[in-house]
Amino acid sequence: MSWLPLLVGLAAPPAYLDPGSGSFLIQLLIAGALGAALAIRMSWSRIKGFFRRKESPPPDSEKHGE
């Protein structure tokens, strides 16, 4: 991650867009749940991927099996 040190001390240019108070605050409200949902979905697909890998033969043997 060679770009990380560049972030340190970087002065952010001012945001020009008005995010809107309501649009800002609702994100605080919903982001936790949406983040959790994403995390669950990702670990679920990881679990499924783990078992699928175990069940199916490795791709190499498929290639040579014909």
Residues that bind other proteins (CB under 8 A): 2-4, 6-7, 10-17, 19-39
Q: What is the SS3 string spanning the chain?
A: CCCHHHHCCCCCCCCCCCCCHHHHHHHHHHHHHHHHHHHHHHHHHHHHHHHHHHHCCCHHHHHHHC
CB of 54 to other proteins, least distance (A): 27
Q: Least distance (Å) from other proteins to the CB of residue 2?
A: 8
Considering the complex, state which of residue 32 and residue 49 has its C-beta at the smaller distance from other proteins. 32
| Residue 50 Cβ vs other proteins, minimum distance, rounded to whole Å | 21
